[in-house]
Amino acid sequence: MKFSTNKNKNSNNMFVAFVAANLLAFANAQTYMVGDTVAHEGYVMDRYCIEQGVFLDQPDVATLPNPNLHTVHCLIDAPPCIGSTFELLGEPTWDGDEAAYTRAFVLDDDSKAQVVSLAKELGVCNDCTGDGHLKAGFRVRVTATVTEMANETIGAGPTISVDQVVPVFPYAGQSIELQGAFISDQFCLQRGTFLDNNLPSLEQPELHTVHCLIDPPPCIGSPFEVLLPPAEGESTYIRGYTLDDPSKEQIVEVIKEVGVCDTCNGGGSLVEGFKADLTAIVVDSQRNETAGAGPVISVTEVMANLPADVGDDTGMDTGTDTGVEQEPTGSEDCATEVPTTMTFEEVPISLTYSLVRDEENGWFFAGEVAYEGQGWVGFAISQDGTMPGSIAIIGLPDDPVGTTNPGKYDMPSRTPPILAEQQTLFNSNIEQNATHTVLTFWKLLKEVNEADHVIWPIGDNPFLVAAGSSNELGYHAHRHSFTLTLGCEAANEETTADEEVDVTPGVDVTPVFAVGDEIEVEGFVMDNFCIERGTLLDAPSIVTLEQPNLHSLHCLLDVPQCVESNFEILLDPMPGETMYQRGLTLDEDSKQMVIAMAKELGTCQECSGGRLRHGFRAKLTATVLDAGDDATGAPPMVSVINAQPVLFVTDSSTEATFEVGDLVTVTGFVMDNFCIERGTLLDNPSVVTLEEPNLHSFHCLIDVPQCAASNYEVLLDPAPDAEDQMYSRGFVLDDEGKALVRSLAMEVGICDECDETGTWQFGFRAQIMGTIVELGASGEPPVISIQDAVAVPFEGAAADDGGDAPADDEDAALQTGPVDCSQFVASHEFEGLGLTLNYVVNVDEETGEGNFTGQVVYEGQGWVGFGVSESGAMVGSLAVIGLPDEDISESNPGKYDLGGQSPAAVTLTDQQTILDGNVEQNETHTVLTFTKLLTEPGEMPIDPNGRNVFLAAAGLDNNLGFHAVRGVVALTLAPCTADGGGVAGGAEALDFDNRQTSFAAHGWMACIAWGVLVPVAIGNSLCRHLIPGEGLWFQLHRALNSLAILMTIAFFGVVVAAVSSQPAPDHFKPRTEQGSIGYHKTIGLVVFILALIQGIGGVMRPHLPHKNDDGTFEPKTGIRTAWEFVHKGSGVAILAMAWYQCHSGLVLYAQIFAAEDRTGAFWGVTGTISAIVVGGALTRFCLPGKEAGGKDADGDVDAESPEGPSS
């Protein structure tokens, strides 16, 4: 996959150079004498390009104003350039607003050889010898001696003999090209090892995982660098260049397309060692010595450089289909003798499971998770298909197998997994060999204190499987969520009984963190005084661990009792809970660090920031000093390594002033900008968007093109005491953040594109942590880049039916259950066309009359149309067409008769009866909406209770003309009622036009017959002198022409039959409105008739002259001579007309069927054959023993057959 960006190749730094050059004009104007020693820096340029005035390989670029754009390829590879004299340019001089570099010196031959050698070593060209990456702008610094005076006649400077030459590299504005360069994040480069596997980052970049590069915030949050190969004899790669921010974003997009990571697009397969081919411009030539990073470059073109066994096909299905049919487990007592194995297409992990019963302890879920690789392995029981809040079973291959390995872990949000207090696994083990790691376990279906994580023996269970990038517990390399449906009545009776299974924990695990652990955590900073008293000192009505966001910075920093007590970091509530948890205690140095940070940000007596009044929150990295005290409830103490404040936004009353770079955490509904701007929800127009975002469906947010294509925003809750309970616009998500939130929504929600693991139908609410990257202007919210997002459940989010997603057949999406028949209740997406049809059918039960309300959404700009057809053919159907550039009126959108395939044949009908018609267009979409009566006089009816064939199309632009895309579908409709309806069956995909196959066959045969066979047949005649064997040329000539005529008869019959199948066929009638190609049918008939006559004439040709005994021939008869003239002339004329037919036919086919124009391929093949024939014929004039006209040196004529001479 390749991405290109247009950049201004002339750096702004050029201006500085031009000014400096004019200041040095006096120095440049001096006269050099033979023997003078000079020191000069300048661009190397060949005289050929100088005298041409433009570059040989870039004829639109002037030479002397733009030497930085002169490619090394042009300088070294092009014969006219490398063969000419080389010159060194001086600094530029100004002529008004224009500047051009001066011709300073001419290099003698030895000096040129030195410079050429250096260019080949550093540059990118065919003859280059090294691993250089200089693409354009070769600049050197020389010390030299003047050997000849300036040549004023041609404008060249003095000739010099170079004593020393060194490259000037890099400099701002220079163009470079890199092939197969590793890309790495600066975080891993500076720490010396990769974050996920601890391998040396500058020695083994091929083992740097895409996951490490893209997913962990420290890595993706740091600058990206381009590594250069190690120097000869070395093993350490060189930190070559640093990417500017737009280039980093561009490369991240490429990596996500081809790679395997949590936030990747799902279509790639590259696990580690991302390399790229790129072209770039140096924008800052100075190295960052503090960071150890190279010059900054701006990428103009980039392509992933993938290993041969890795593709970048992004068409992979990213759904959650496991690849096996899920059957209820087991036999009569559910103890499965043969366990079920599930494989997952998305990850190299399989799960083998069964339900088994132990007489003493009850029912267990017996599982085996096999990972094709080496790393820790985990299995999790989730409430909603996501990892936070789940209970995981994790095996660590490097640790001894015991009570806690494999062990059960609590999975809180944004903190490392915590060993659970109840270690109750049976028959657990973790094994690893060179290729696989296998986790086995038995887990009780129901346990004490795990009411939210029951494995249900009947029903759906959201599970996850995961595997790490190493044996040390850390970031996962692979993760997959899925829903497993079980069916075991015997186990269900025991599991749902009132009493819970009481199992004594195998071990009491008290420490949450081990001493020496380095952890990363985010939470509110709270003084121990307010924690111990239970309420906030300055707001006694507020429970401390319920609303720490209301804790004022004045209380935290000014009040002696608070500021003199210990400071703690509170952990966020577990899913479904409201109380915050005491997480960590700060040591004294860390406390002082946090106080200083709070004073810089907050509002208090000693504060200087004034940007935050309540709820001081921080994100920090720390080392655990002690494990805490269970007896007193004191949490572990930590020493902070680094910390950053986080602005916690709760609702519209939050008092905080934002700046670019601020970390923020916000909880709110996610809403698409389309529904915000229109004021009401698109799929529920009676609901005001900012009043009830909880009623916004996941289907509208994720599936509907207008919504899914617009920006996503996080809404702020109304202030609790505000009179106006309207939600407000809080933050806009950047593109990567939007993708992350969409992925999360598809995990937990119910929609067409969702993962089928979710149970939420309305109101997607999430807690999001991110960095402000842009402040909003003119009332727009700030833009944030997301580091983490967690779905936040609320009452009303789950579907009423228990969370099953609607049935989803291959082509149609239906709304079931109680519906609003004033809204669209069904949709069909035309796969790969960017067209979606939303619709509803309403029928009056008493009168039987009704209407069809439709909406065609096109992902592009152009006219949009909907058609009703009998068979799928366009001609003869009725269409509703909307023209975006015209005013909405009675006839726009209007009804049209499709009388033919040309735009002129598409005419407005006499009956313009469309109701509520509208056509809208923005930068990305065009939407046609209409209501049409089911039955109208003289028109094709729409059957509300049967099968209908519908068309959808969109134009190349807003003017009614040929379509860019079109589709056809057969839908079986059903009237909408309050209880459901809309369609009675699935969608049936049809060929748009059943004549397309016939026209394709017609074209193929015509092009082969007249583009290949006939030219080769004529070539056999013209090049007979090159064909061995007496008379062989004639046999080939006759056979090929005969085959061409037979194919002509065949393709003529095929197309006549195809045209006859359409309503009101217009055989052979010219369409003058189409210009020259409109005569295709008429000329086609002429070619057919003349070809038959030509074939008959060839068979009935007059006899050749008689051959005498002495080998001579009698003179040709007059009729033979006349026949030859007519036969040859008509043959050339028919061939010319046939070539016109092939060309015009290919153009018409491309227009009618929105197909690729293949006229170039036709002329490429036919032109090549013709050129070979002409070349062969011309050899008759130069080969010995033959003359023009086919006679040999004795005057005899070549035979057209063994029996006689030729014509």
Residues 927-960: pLDDT tens digits?
Answer: 999 999 999 988 889 998 888 889 999 988 999 8
pLDDT confidence band for 25 (50 / 70 / 90): very low
Number of neighbours of residue 543 by Cβ within 10 angstroms: 16
What pLDDT shows up at residue 849?
Answer: 87
DSSP 8-state symbol, 62: B
Whole-number pLDDT of residue 1126: 84
pLDDT at 29: 45
pLDDT at 1090: 87
Q: What's residue 748's pLDDT?
A: 84
Question: What average pLDDT does the chain have?
Answer: 80
Strands 349-358 and 362-371 turn out to be antiparallel
pLDDT for the residue numbered 309? 63
**Euclidean distance between CA atoms 1068 and 1080, whole angstroms:** 8
- Residue 361: phi and psi, rounded to 5, are -110, -15
**The residue count for the chain:** 1207
pLDDT interval class at 2 (50, 70, 90): very low
More confident residue, 106 or 332: 106
Mean pLDDT of 983-1010: 72
- Conformation bin of residue 147: beta by default, left when phi > 0, alpha when psi is -120 to 50: alpha
| Lowest mean pLDDT, pick from 62-71, 193-202, 574-583, 749-758 | 574-583
Q: What is the pLDDT of residues 1176-1190, one digit of tens each?
A: 888 887 766 544 334
From CA 363, how far away is CA 492, in angstroms rounded?
9
Q: Which segment, 225-234, 887-896, 1057-1066, is predicted with the most confidence on average? A: 887-896
pLDDT reported for residue 329: 36
Distance CA 10, CA 65 (A): 10
- Residue 83 in this model has a pLDDT that exceeds 90: yes
Tell me the average pLDDT across 495-508: 36
Do 637 and 747 meet the contact criterion of CB atoms below 8 Å apart? no
Least confident of 372-386, 643-657, 740-754: 643-657
Would the pLDDT of 12 be above 80? no
Give the pLDDT band (50/70/90) at residue 984: very low
Mean pLDDT of 658-674: 88
508 Cβ neighbours under 8 A, 6+ residues apart: 421
**What per-residue confidence (pLDDT) applies to 526?**
94
Q: Percent of the chain having pLDDT more than 90?
A: 23
Residues 1189, 1198: Cα–Cα separation, whole Å? 10
User: Which residue bears the tokens 């009101």?
Assistant: 1064
pLDDT at 184: 94
β-strands 637-649, 663-672 pairing: parallel
What is the reported pLDDT for 714?
93
d(CA 1089, CA 1093): 6
Q: Across the chain, which distance is largest between two alpha carbons, in Å?
A: 136
Q: Which two tokens stand for residue 1003?
A: 């074209």
Model pLDDT, residue 19: 39
pLDDT band at 323, cuts 50/70/90?
very low
Q: Is the pLDDT of residue 54 over 70?
A: yes
Least confident of 200-214, 601-615, 904-918, 987-1001: 987-1001
Residue 919 has pLDDT above 80, yes or no: yes
Give residue for tokens 């033959």.
Answer: 1186
Structure tokens at 716: 């702020």
Looking at residue 514, what is its pLDDT? Answer: 66
| pLDDT value, residue 396 | 94
Q: How confident is the model at residue 11 (pLDDT cuts 50, 70, 90)?
A: very low
Residue 257 has pLDDT above 50, yes or no: yes
| CA angle (663 as vertex; 789, 560 as ends), nearest 5 | 115
Segment holding 785, helix H or strand E: strand 783-791
Inform me whether the pLDDT recorded for 796 exceeds 80. Answer: no
pLDDT, position 102: 92
* Interval 676-696: pLDDT, tens: 988 888 877 778 889 999 889
Condensed to tens digits (0 to 9), the pLDDT of residues 345-369 reads 878 898 888 888 877 778 888 899 9
* Residue 1072 confidence class, pLDDT cut points 50, 70, 90: low
List the structure tokens of 1200: 């057209």
Residue 507's pLDDT is what? 30
H-helix or E-strand spanning residue 543: strand 539-543
More confident: 1143 or 1064: 1143
The two tokens of residue 305 are 């450089």
Over residues 438-448, the mean pLDDT reads 88
How would residue 374 be classed by pLDDT, with cut points 50, 70 and 90? very high
Q: Extract the runs of DSSP E, i.e. beta strands, from 901-1016.
A: 906-908, 915-921, 926-933, 947-955, 963-977, 980-989
* Whole-number pLDDT of residue 498: 38
State the Cα–Cα distance between residues 1121 and 1104, nearest whole angstrom. 10
- Measured CA distances, 1072 to 807, 1060, 1068, 1080 (Å): 51, 21, 12, 10
Contact 566, 526 (CB under 8 A): no
- pLDDT for the residue numbered 1131: 86
pLDDT confidence of residue 817: 38
Helix (H) / strand (E) containing 557: helix 553-557
Burial class of 903 by CB neighbour count within 10 A (0 to 12, 13 to 18, 19+) = middle
Which of 1129, 1144, 1116 is CA-nearest to residue 1204? 1116
pLDDT at 324: 30
Range from 416-420, 957-961, 983-987 that averages highest in pLDDT:
957-961
Give tens-digit pLDDT for 1089-1141: 988 888 888 888 887 777 777 767 778 788 888 888 888 888 888 888 888 88
pLDDT at 462 over 60: yes
Position 892, amino acid = N
Residue 1203's pLDDT is 37
* pLDDT over 80 at 392, yes or no: yes
Tokens of 784: 């944030």
pLDDT band at 319 (very low <50, low <70, confident <90, very high): very low
Q: Give the mean pLDDT of 832-839.
A: 87
Is a pLDDT exceeding 70 seen at residue 314? no
pLDDT value at 1041 more than 50: yes
